[in-house]
Copies of this chain bind each other. A is one copy, B any other.
């Protein structure tokens, strides 16, 4: 546990240093730019840092790294890659909150809401909400660039071949997550659910690209590539990472319906209000008689009040879909852990990976 704490500290330090350097570089643009830097800094104080942790363990799966030791050039490169993933994730969340019209994130107002509030508080003219959206869009763009700079620094600090391979994984991740997000948005807006099997396939595809690969598999492979993983070493890590990512997102689906606002920082039933066609929702629908299914479909994605949310939560619970999803989570984690057995992954890392998989699958926020 000491290791995890030290790592969290090192990551936060490095993120703060990076943002501090950018603040200095942007000083010629004058004091008004400060609001952008302040928001980025505040946003990046929080978060569970799963992606950073998977990247570090991806590295350790291949090459020894003493997390309690000195931060030499090699360790620094791993930290840069890990921070890069966290900055990229912050950018994705900030844009995601615009897309989902979310009010809160990490227990604070979403970035577009913060800027809308600033607009109102400082007596600016024009549409405060639109100013919020415009500003958050630009903060996200900025963090995307800075994520890229950090990944560049990480890749430049290791052998060329290793750096190039890490970039391949990072690049693929960025493409897939943006398109996965688009498919998610598109899915919500379909006039009706597809027939069950097709819908399950569509929902699973969104889950895989928008989240599973992005949150676990890609960070692991970026870390492993930096350590010089061969394709033979990458294979078991991918075979571990994808099911852990699936479990991670299935847990997210459960939290999106049943999560405690105090813990998740997102309102209860958020996914229901947004009308997300998650695997959980798709499995629920299939069990409902026709009339109930119609009511369910009509409520989903509307401006639900507390009572509506409770009713839908009850429907989902009573359908047996929660147990089914819990079962899928367990099986995915088991499959993941199994993929590491007898693999060329370093045993101490395999042990830590299994622990982290469990945490990712069983988290409450």
Contact = CB atoms under 8 A, between A and B. Distances in A.
A138 B32 contact: no
A42 interface: no
Number of this chain's copies in the complex = 2
Contact of A101 (B99, B130, B141, B174): B130
A289 interface: no
Given A152-B167, A176-B26, A32 B186 contact: yes
A247 to B, nearest CB: 21
Interface stretch (A66-74, A188-196, A223-231, A337-345): A188-196
Contacts of A164: 156
Given A131-B189, A178-B141, A301-B126, A209 B29 contact: yes
Interface string A208-221: 01000000000000
Q: How large is the interface on A (under 10, 10 to 19, 20 to 34, 35 or more residues)?
A: 35 or more
- Of the candidates A95, A101, A119, A189, the one having the most CB atoms from chain B within 10 angstroms of its own CB is A189
Contacts of A176: 26, 29
Interface in A240-299: 275
A126 B188 contact: yes
A273 to B, nearest CB: 12
27 contacts: A25-B172, A25-B175, A26-B175, A26-B179, A29-B180, A29-B183, A29-B205, A33-B182, A98-B133, A101-B130, A124-B190, A124-B191, A125-B189, A125-B191, A125-B301, A126-B188, A126-B189, A133-B133, A138-B178, A138-B179, A138-B185, A141-B144, A141-B178, A142-B174, A142-B178, A144-B144, A149-B171
